[in-house]
Amino acid sequence: MKSRTREINIFSLSMMDVISGAMGAFLIIMIGLARYYNSDPTSTQTVQQMNQQLQEAKEIIDEMKQMLRKEGIDPEPLL
């Protein structure tokens, strides 16, 4: 008897191969990005402090605009 020669197709992928490859890529990306993940609660406080400082700065700018308008100067070209 003569043995059959099988054609080997290296480009056929089963669904399990696709899912395994996608999961592997996801894990590699997550491991690479894990060092940039920061769940520090102090960063939330810092953001709140920065928002408060921003609000105070906006109030100061508004006060300065009002002072310039009282002097008869248009503040918009200065910004």
Note whether 47 and 55 are within 8 A (CB): no
What's the confidence (pLDDT) of residue 17?
Answer: 87
**Average pLDDT along the chain, 79 residues, taken 10 residues at a time:** 69 81 96 83 80 96 92 82
What's the confidence (pLDDT) of residue 9?
Answer: 67
- The alpha carbon dihedral of 38, 42, 47, 50 has a sign of negative
Assign 14 to helix, strand or coil.
Answer: coil
Confirm whether pTM is higher than 0.85: no
What's the confidence (pLDDT) of residue 41?
Answer: 67
Q: How many residues does the chain have?
A: 79
